[in-house]
Amino acid sequence: GNSVTQMEGPVTLSEEAFLTINCTYTATGYPSLFWYVQYPGEGLQLLLKATKADDKGSNKGFEATYRKETTSFHLEKGSVQVSDSAVYFCALADTGRRALTFGSGTRLQVQP
């Protein structure tokens, strides 16, 4: 079956530090990959996506590249801000299946 594995949190960084949150996946088909972000007290918001191998998704300074050879979709940002503090979820949508498979989420705490 499908699965998504994310690095355990919380990740605590100082403002302007470089961020990497690792995500690897297992899927039977050719999935699309997503990063969602959940700010305190809110639902999930789509941050970025990639639909095929070697695609790079980007939004708000965050990037992730779909690596089929390593089955990974790591999230990166060059300089984090306090406002980036949230929980980040990696997810996949497998071909022909409507529902998403989510990772367990990684909490990011950015300190001023």
Partner 1 sequence: ETGVTQTPRHLVMGMTNKKSLKCEQHLGHNAMYWYKQSAKKPLELMFVYSLEERVENNSVPSRFSPECPNSSHLFLHLHTLQPEDSALYLCASSQASAGYNEQFFGPGTRLTVL
CB of 14 to partner 1, least distance (A): 26
Among 12, 79, 81, 104, binds partner 1 (CB under 8 A): 104
User: Are residues 60 and 12 in contact, defined by beta-carbon separation less than 8 angstroms?
Assistant: no
Question: What single-letter DSSP state applies at residue 43?
Answer: -
Q: From CA 18, how far away is CA 28, in angstroms rounded?
A: 33
Residue 60: what residue type? Answer: K
Cβ closest to partner 1, residue 77 vs residue 101? 101
Q: According to DSSP H, which parts of 1-112 are helical?
A: none
CB of 15 to partner 1, least distance (A): 27
| Binding-site ranges for partner 1 (CB under 8 A) | 4, 32, 34, 36, 41-46, 49, 51, 89, 93, 97-100, 102-105
